[in-house]
Every structure is written in C-alpha cells, then in structure tokens.
A = this chain, B = another copy of it.
Amino acid sequence: MKPSGSGDLLVRLLGALQVLPGVGQRSAQRMALHLLQRDRQGGKLLAEVMLEAIERVGHCQQCRNLTTDEQCVICRNPERDDSLVCVVESPADVMALEQAGVFSGSYFVLLGRLSPLDGIGPDDLGLELLIERLAGGAIRELIIATNTSVEGEATAHYLQELAQPYQIKVSRLAQGVPLGGELEYLDRSTLALSFNNRAEIH
C-alpha cells in the first residue's frame, strides 16, 4: 500500500503487526489506527509487557512449560500430584487442559512432536528429562495427550514404547464423537472409530 500520512513509520507498524498469527493487512490497519487514535496508553503497556515477556519467559526445568522462573507454577505447587504426568505438545495444550479443570497432576511439554520430515527427532522434544523422571521411579501414570494428527499419533506410540521398561500405567485421551458434535458432520474416520469403540450402557 501507499504510505498515507505518517509515511515510513506507519507502514513499518502495519508490517510489524502482521507477525501476529491471523493478522493480515486489513486487521493490521485496524489495530494500528485503534492504538494510535484511541488507546495509546494500552498500546504502550502492550509493547512494554511484550518486551518484558520476550526477555524473561523461558522454559520450566522440570516440565518445559513457559515460565519466568526455574520451575513453573504447576511444578512448584505442592498440591499437584507429581506422580501423574500428562504429556502434551505445547503450552497451549496445558492452558486448554487447565481450563477444562479435570487434572491435578503435572505436565510434560514436548514443545513439538516427532516429525522426521521436518528433522524433529526425540532429542528435540527434551525426552531425556522425561526418561530421568521415569527412571527416578516417581511416576505412576503417564497420560499421553498429543494431538490426533499423524505426527501426534507417532509421538504417542514412541512415548508408549519409551515408558514400557518402567512398568507404569500408560493412558491416552479417549477418542470419539465430541460433545455437541453432530454425526452428520463428523469425519468418517472418527465416526468409524467411535462406532467400533462403542461403550455398553449399564
């Protein structure tokens, strides 16, 4: 687009805003004008918090989740059960599970998934940390909660084999028809799977 009044700087701002996921030219324009015309205070705060987070947020030394400290708030919380470990792909999955509010154990965040084509192997998922915890004997159940994509499934399989020598319980999130899902619009594989895994009603 042509510069339209504040030349270079506004154009640079529009470009920079588009690093955000889901933000294209149009929404960048809307965001920039909103910040400049209506909320400079909020924009300044956002920029400052962003810089601080980028500077200070690292990974938990125990579970690899995002944190500003050595250990994240979940690993530090004495009320969470360390012997239950739920393995997820990303910090977003931790947030989703925490919001569901069903789990009071601890997590292990892979920060990715096995993907040989992208050159992502077991070493890139920090699995030595998990093996250490498994070998320590303090884990009694490993709950595998990787995504149900091809790579997620392969990662789940790998984790299952990894845990086998330690003779602990290994589980996987249930798969089937989502709540509120309409059979009519469900993909065929999920439908077939949930049909085959049908549960008897008592």
A interface residues, Cβ below 8 angstroms from B:
1-7, 9-10, 12-13, 16-17, 19-22, 27, 29-37, 39-40, 42-54, 56-57, 60, 63, 65-69, 72-74, 90-92, 94-95, 98-99, 111
Contacts and interface: CB of A to CB of B under 8 A. Distances in A.
Given A66-B6, A67-B7, A73-B5, A34 B52 contact: no
Q: When A and B form their complex, which 3 residue pairs have the shortest distance between CB atoms, in order from nearest?
A: A19-B42, A5-B65, A5-B72
Given A19-B39, A19-B42, A42-B19, A4 B53 contact: no
Given A19-B39, A42-B16, A66-B10, A4 B52 contact: no
A83 B54 CA distance: 49
Number of copies: 2
Contacts of A73: 3-7
A80 to B, nearest CB: 12
A169 to B, nearest CB: 25
A41 B52 CA distance: 13
A10 B57 contact: yes
Contacts of A72: 4-7
A46 B67 contact: no
B1 A20 contact: no
Contact of A54 (B35, B54, B66, B95): B35
